[in-house]
Structure 1
Amino acid sequence: MSFRGVNFLNFNKDGIIDEKRVINLLLNKQLEHSLIEKIKGDLSLMKIKSSSAIEKIVKQNIVEYLRGCIKSFEIDTVSYPHVIALIGVNGSGKTTTSFKMANLLTNLEYKTSLVSCDIVRPGALFQFNELCKKVAVDADYKKKGEKIFNFIEKKINFAIENKYDIFVLDTPGIVVGNKATLDYVSEIIGSVKDLIGKDRSFSTIFIADANLGGDIMSQIMFLKNTVKIDGIFISKFETTSKIGQILKAAKTFKIPITGIGNGISVTKIDKITPDDLSNMIFNVKELGNEAH
């Protein structure tokens, strides 16, 4: 798994990584202060600062930090369908992520229905139709003038009657600070839960834009008292300059990271482990090969 966003890290004339640039890289990614201080302390104790030794120290610390932050998403198809509601602020990549997720699940041979209620914003319907052309996904959207709760009830009942394994719901975008938009999404989630009953699984996934930095913390603070968030999906991971803030949010609010959308392609979605994410944040071997 390669990552292209860290190639500004340089090596000194002896081929040994410049320690200051390593720390600057971690600072630029907005990793938590305590983690960076731990790495700095461990690096200061090293006698021979080879590329492989620094890589090992940095990654060991990142992996340890990530433990408990990452969780594989578990699909429950015993009492079908398992409903996955995607929530997020406008512009977070929620609709693209819904197609990434539905496409992956379909390819894994889960019978998947994708339903979009986020078609009010400018260009939303065009985006929906373009994404439909790129992947073979069973997808539908709320038509103009159609009452949203009637539409969702119709699609949920169809999924139950036709034994769909998974129902992916792309909810309307939320505006941070606008309680009405949040309450609307909360009402939609509540109505879906009522429709499927307590015996069927329901998961709410927050779509976190990798570029937003500290705004992620304020977004989750705004959401969490109204909507229970079961997992974080990181979108737009092709650039991770501020990824540290999402990791901090996952630890602070005890909400696991369940997946990564890397790139604009609807087929690009990554399952992750602490080791995978550590490699994506800090890939010394790749940089070393470029340097020589």
Structure 2
Amino acid sequence: MIELKIEDLYKKYGKKTALKNFSYTFVSGIYGLIGPNGAGKSTLMNILVDGVSRSSGKIIFNGQEIEKMGEKYRALIGYVPQQQGMYENFTAWEFLNYMANLKGINKKVISETINNVLKFVNLYDEKKCKIGGFSGGMKQRILIAQALLNDPQILILDEPTAGLDPKERIRIRNLMAKISLEKIVIISTHIVSDIEYIANNILFLHNGKLIKNGTPSELLKEIESIVYEEKIDKIEVEKYNSKYLVGGLTSVDGGIKIRFIDESGEKESKYLVEPNLEDYYLYMEKIMENQTK
């Protein structure tokens, strides 16, 4: 079993504290990092990939402090940034060959390794095509492929499905599920529906602190009796927005189907619906906003 243990992690940028007393232990599986902008998600990921230094705290991989492991730790990491700065004149093969050499992969196995990762992300038939002609989803799969070249123990993904169409989002989600069988996979995302059904645990960060964590089912139990849907007239939308925490509006024949959170207990039970992770995200954001007022 692999284990990444974080103890009392702090990160300060001048007077601003980006991470405060963050402690958590990751083992094999998928972890979703959720929270508003500025919550500390990117800071945590940058520290874990050794992109920025911590201010204090410990990070221990399988019993060893990663600072002492140095390059050995970095060789265990695979990182998928938000889509950016790719060599669009390179073919898929050329790009992965370039990345494999940067990672120091044995030249005797580079070709086999590239073929394997291209097949895994379902881009083997496009290996001679230039990246500039790829769709957003294909580019994202190439970024995943380069992260897998060194067979990492820890895979960290920053907004892997942002801007993708539903078909590609499902494809990426399925890839994550396959990868996680023997790895620690940490995904930061604002599209919480993409991790609801694949994440083993969800971590909710706010203002640099780990506020809540648990399995999706554990977290959703907290709001299982306060999420409702109702069909209303269009003129009632503003009233609902002012009275409840509204999670969604859908046009239907004769009106609007509205999804909302109501903690008052006044609504009839026939309108009660099963909560999802988006509902929970809205609920937690509201709680945090109220606490900081």
Task: Tell me the TM-score normalised to structure 2 length.
Answer: 0.32
Relative contact order: is structure 1 or structure 2 higher (C-alpha 8 Å, sep ≥ 6)?
1
**Structure (1 or 2) with the greater helix fraction:** 1
